[in-house]
């Protein structure tokens, strides 16, 4: 019979506490998504729970301000989900979008810049710097 990683994590005392905390965070996240207004549930998320306080990360200051205004009502609603909630702490923490790459734009070199680089490369002795400049000149885009 195959045993999943949860089985092994639950057996160890230290990992078991981490798993219990992770389950609590998941439960609070689901509860937050259920009780938060539609406009806020996608712009904020439960980040942590410690000492009876729920830490919520908001994508921007406007969302954070609105959650702070609603903190008592949200705290009461989240407490109904099982975890004691004595307060909510809101932090502005924009979400990091994984694997988002910004495409680089190739900056072409002017004829003057190419001439200056070529002149510099020609005046250098053979070596890694001259090879690097020659390589740059071969690969560089040029202004047409």
Q: What is the pLDDT of residues 16-67, one digit of tens each?
A: 788 888 888 999 999 999 999 988 888 999 999 998 899 999 999 999 999 9
**Nearest CA among 28, 140, 133, 119 for reference residue 75:** 28
Please give the domain boundaries of the chain with CATH numbers for all domains.
Answer: 7-92 (3.30.300.180), 106-144 (no CATH)
pLDDT of residue 91: 94
pLDDT of residue 144: 63
Rounded Cα distance, 19 and 10, in Å: 7
Count of CA atoms in the C-beta half-sphere (13 A) of 103:
2
pLDDT of residue 20: 86
């Amino acid at each position: 019979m195959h045993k999943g990683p949860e089985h092994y994590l639950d057996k160890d005392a230290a990992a078991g506490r981490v798993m219990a905390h992770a389950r609590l965070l998941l439960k609070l996240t689901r509860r937050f998504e259920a009780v938060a207004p539609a406009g806020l549930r996608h712009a904020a998320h439960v980040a942590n729970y410690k000492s009876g306080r729920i830490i919520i990360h908001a994508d921007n200051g406007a969302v954070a301000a609105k959650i702070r205004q609603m903190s008592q009502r949200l705290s009461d609603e989240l407490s109904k989900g099982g975890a004691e909630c004595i307060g909510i702490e809101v932090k502005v923490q924009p979400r990091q979008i994984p694997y988002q790459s910004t495409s680089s734009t190739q900056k072409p070199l002017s004829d003057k810049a190419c001439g200056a680089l070529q002149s510099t490369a020609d005046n250098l002795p053979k070596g890694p710097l001259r090879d690097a400049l020659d390589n740059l000149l071969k690969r560089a885009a040029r202004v047409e």
